[in-house]
Amino acid sequence: MTSPPPSSPAASVLDLAPVVPVVVVEDAADAVPVARALVAGGLPAIEVTLRTPAALDAIREISREVPGAVVGAGTVIAPEQVTACAAAGARFLVSPGWTDVLLTAMRASGMPFLPGVSTTSEVVALLERGVREMKFFPAQAAGGTAYLRSLAGPLPQARFCPTGGIGPDNAAEYLALPNVGCVGGSWMVPAETVAARDWGRIEGLARAATYFRTS
């Protein structure tokens, strides 16, 4: 799948790749080689979580140095983070949950965004607000594939990126669901592999993840 050119926003996060790597960057110096390995392995959409002080620098460096990457920000929970992520060069936003204040800020950014949901009521509330693409989190703890399958009948217009407890053993099961566009996971970027600077292994894990594609 060809990613959009770096200057353009991602049209839909769900359609960029079957798997979106969820990356926690402890050292900004690791950001570019990790991103290059993931892109080389066929996974251009990369979610850098705002869980560490290095996150914004990582997004900035990936945006500047890895033209094949579509870098986004995860764990976005406040409007000021939306502004900071946009300034750093993020091209999509992902939140573990949402409020109307956060939703307004994400919408105003002009970037694609995936607000997090874990209940039917949250899904319906977002549909009322014109949002059809969402993060389902924490996927396994919130009911997994059985829950998502049950939502497909009454709420077919909602599409999801399940994240949380997803790995190579169950990714294909999620991707087979009609209302799942992609899944998020961190198994392509093990912390010990980053510490060892084994970029080749990360590329291999990313390439293996592309086989979960169902279309």
Catalytic residues: 47, 135
79-88 and 55-65 are packed helices; what angle lies between their axes, rounded to 10 degrees?
30
Q: Tell me which H or E stretch contains 115.
A: none
Q: Beta partners for 134?
A: 160
Question: What three-state secondary structure class fits 183?
Answer: strand
Of the candidates 189, 176, 156, the one whose C-alpha atom is nearest the C-alpha of residue 49 is 189
CB atoms within 10 A of CB 124: 14
Residue 87 burial class via C-beta count within 10 angstroms: exposed 0-12, middle 13-18, buried 19 and up: exposed
**25: exposed, middle or buried (Cβ count in 10 Å: 0-12, 13-18, 19+):** buried
**Which of 5, 89, 83 shows the shortest CA–CA distance to 44?**
5
Structure tokens at 9: 């926003």
Beta-sheet pairing, 133-136 with 159-162: parallel
